[in-house]
Structure 1
Amino acid sequence: MSFPWAAHYTPKAPLMKWIDERLPLPRLVYNSIGAGYPVPRNLNYMWNFGVLSGLALVIQIVSGIIMAMHYAANDLVAFGTVEHVMRDVNSGWLIRYAHANGASFFFIVVYLHIFRGLFYGSYKAPREMVWLLGLVIYLLMMATAFMGYVLPWGQMSYWGAKVITGLFGAIPVVGEPIQTWLLGGFAPGNAALNRFFSLHYLLPFVIAGVIILHIWALHIPGSNNPTGVDVKGPQDTVPFHPYYTAKDGFGAGVFLILFSILLFFAPNFLGHPDNYIEANPLSTPAHIVPEWYFWPFYAILRAFTFDFFFVPAKLLGVLAMFAAILLLFFLPWLDNSPVRSGKFRPVFKQFFIVLCIDVLILGWCGGAPATAGYVMISQIAAAYYFAHFLIILPLIAMFEKPLPLPNSITEAVLAKHNLQGEEPAAVPAE
């Protein structure tokens, strides 16, 4: 623990003392999410999304384990077993819809978590490792979600697997052997379904393990805050419990309400109707698209329509799609501004808004048909995406004049409430 003023766990009951001496689990919990972990006193509700991501993962693991009890990873019966869960298993429809829509909510809170980190500079020193581990979690989520999308073995499942694994075929020399190795054959079938099911079941537990590392890395420097100013002393912090457990509890309540509304009133809103048609290798859907949370990267993939010298357009699209994610790993070194929070960076704030709009445009294009108009918009939006991180962000760090920073978190909190370090005036009695 890097905060010397943090409270320390001292068991009083004989049983808890005996347990703590042999397995200091109560001490670990107390120092991780209890009163022994001081956090900045000015965290807003944008800091709820980390806990909500953990809640979404728990929903996915629990519902996924129940689904696995009734699912058969065989291309002859996979589609039927999903229908069996929906129609014959007690509350099976609820479990299946919770799992399908839980994936979407998981990505929603993770995207909000990432963009909060982008705005408040949570990727800057000394939290680079927290950011890098978070991106590893995101990559594992993408792999898990793709494999899960294949398991219902509907039309979009089959053709999505064929298209996405076909991207590896664009890699020179080793591409086609890698594609064959991934599928266990030359086309999606029983071998691919077994492999994807096994990995889809395993990877959430790997994600949980990386999340533990993510939290561990966070506890070393402590949480960032909306001002980006380092903690100066105990006056800048409050215990995590009960202050932020209550705040996170409220956020979890809002999350579950919104999740329940989608689950009970519009369970298929974020899905694709073609996935309720059993996979048919002889019938290609008119419009093959991945799940909505992959649309921005799918738009970048489709933005390359012409060869560049001897490099095929397909390979360029694949490289650009992966580069769009890998680029974020270098963000702590691309943005050299000494100021963390976007609240005090007026130029950065404007370009951050443009970036958010750009990503939304990419998502819109990724879910649209690959017509000339959408492809042209994708090309412009993809060019800006890379320019933002590789050109605009370093230039902003060099030439921007930040606003004055508060001397401490406490000063910022008191100024926000017009106290300026003084006691509020007493209200005269009537």
Structure 2
Amino acid sequence: MNVNDIRKDFPILDQQVNGKDLIYLDTSATSQTPLVVIDAMTEYYQSYNSNVHRGVHTLGTHATEGYEQARMKVKSFINAKRFEEIVFTRGTTAAINLVARSFGDMIIEPGDEIVVTEMEHHANIVPWQELAKRTGAELNFIPMEADGTLTKDSIEATIGDKTKIVAVTHVSNVLGTINDIKSIAETAHNNGAYIVVDGAQAVPHMTVDVQDLDVDFYAFSGHKMLGPTGIGVLYGKSELLDEMPPIEYGGDMIDFVDLRTSTWTDLPVKFEAGTPMIAEAIGLAAAIDYIREIGPETILAHEKELADYALSQMKSLEGIEIYGPDSRAGLITFNLTDVHPHDLATALDSEGIAVRAGHHCAQPLMKWLGVSSTARASFYIYNTKEEIDSLIESLKRTKEFFSYEF
């Protein structure tokens, strides 16, 4: 993989911020978008902008073909068994909420257990909190080790015969922990429970095979995998989606509407009320093509090399606290002694370096870490070791500045 050639595909990287060359280290929040994705969406708007599934005219047919071809590409990309198992949503958050509101309300009863972890993004905690409130279920947490990992013993000790749903992230957006989803799914199923996976930080960076993992539901977002904002995917086993009621109504999701009753159409459109994200789906398809051309394993290897290099460089700095395991995804969350993460991020931004600062939509995890917020640098296919060197030098200068006694 030639990173310099890849960078040419991302026009946003060819700019200066505060008089410095942009170094973008915030992909875990939102990845940048290659020209092929921008061009695919522009072509839709310029050449065949029309609604889908309704008109029989040429533009409508072309739009429908583009939209449904995108669904087929997602199916193939995560190795779903059927195209009906791919539901387009507004993003990971919307996908998880759909499962909690529809499937959760359908199966959860008072006294049941919902199991999550403390490393979850708010999008994979709050919907289950609300489900527990609505139904009288109990919310339990798989305890983490000191480095932010889960052990098989703790997983098996937490998931029991009262557990109905296990909701867990594939990759932590703060710690970089890569959870063994296949093993967790097996434990859940052995106890008669279903597993819901937040894959927002996994699908862009590694091969995900939902059949091999044997997950019941898997959610991810387009904007974290080189695609546009405003679109995500919910994968669900077809036999489960078939049983679930829709939670939004109107538009193309109906089969027949009478004055007082209505019936719903087949999967997956049953869950796609209103005009769908047509241009966004077409952009997501282009992003999948781009990722496939590079290869998920190549992407994972590049990110691991960057993360390992960054870890080794950061550990040589005095007064730095690094969170998460040594074996991790391509992100590093950290704090500098006596420097607030927001001050740190502002100082780095003054040198053209974009990192994340805050609680990363993971306040329970921040509490577990014993901090209010952290800084995070996250890497992708367009990042280089030279950029990490620049980050390290900027961290040194920032530490020196805040250590100076005026």
Using the size of structure 2 for normalisation, the TM-score is 0.25
The answer to which structure has the higher helix fraction is 1
Structure with max Cα Rg: 1
Using the size of structure 1 for normalisation, the TM-score is 0.24
The answer to which structure has the higher strand fraction is 2
